[in-house]
Amino acid sequence: MSSNLHLTILGCYAAAPGSYKNPTSQVLEIRNNLLLIDCGEGTQVALRRNKIKFARIKHIFISHLHGDHFFGLMGVITTFSLLKRTAPLTIYGPKGIKELILLQLKLTKGFTSYPLHFREITSKEPEVILENEEITVTTIPLKHRIYTNGFYFEEKLGERKLDITACLKLDIDRAYYNKIKQGGDITLDNGTVVKNEQLTFDPSQPKSYAYCSDTAYYEEIVSQIQGATALYHEATFLESHAHLCKPTGHSTAAQAAQIAAMAGVKNLILGHYSVRYGDLQEFIKEATPYFENVHLGDDGKNFTF
Please state the residue numbers annotated as binding site for Zn(2+): 64, 66, 68-69, 144, 214, 272
Report how many residues bind its own copies under the rule CB under 8 A: 37
- DSSP codes joined into one string, 102-131: HHHHHHTT---SS-EEEEEE--SS--EEEE
For the chain, helix (H) and strand (E) counts, in that order, are 10, 18
- In the shown chain, the binding pattern of residues 81 to 110 toward its own copies, with x for contact by CB under 8 A and - for none, equals -xx----------x-xx-xx--xx-xxxxx
- Single out the residue of 3, 4, 50, 79 in contact with its own copies (rule: CB under 8 A): 79
**How far apart are the C-alpha atoms of 24 and 75, rounded to whole Å?**
15
Nearest CA to 110 among 81, 71, 85? Answer: 81
8 Å CB contact between 96 and 65: yes
- Single out the residue of 3, 4, 29, 45 in contact with its own copies (rule: CB under 8 A): 45
Q: Is 118 in the site for its own copies (CB under 8 A)?
A: no
- Single out the residue of 4, 50, 78, 204 in contact with its own copies (rule: CB under 8 A): 78
Question: Of 19 and 198, which has the nearer Cβ to its own copies?
Answer: 19
Question: Of 94 and 150, which has the nearer Cβ to its own copies?
Answer: 94
8 Å CB contact between 133 and 156: yes
Site for its own copies in 201-220 (CB under 8 A): none
Residues with catalytic annotation? 68
Site for its own copies in 126-185 (CB under 8 A): 145-146
Closest CB 298 distance from its own copies, rounded Å: 18
Q: Is 253 helix (H, G, I), strand (E, B) or coil?
A: helix
- Single out the residue of 2, 18, 279, 304 in contact with its own copies (rule: CB under 8 A): 18
Burial class (CB in 10 A: 0-12, 13-18, 19+), 169: exposed
8 Å CB contact between 214 and 249: yes
Q: Is 41 in the site for its own copies (CB under 8 A)?
A: yes
Phi, psi (deg, nearest 5) at residue 237: -120, 160
Which positions touch its own copies (CB under 8 A)? 15, 17-20, 41-42, 44-45, 48-49, 54, 65-67, 71-72, 74-75, 78-79, 82-83, 94, 96-97, 99-100, 103-104, 106-110, 145-146
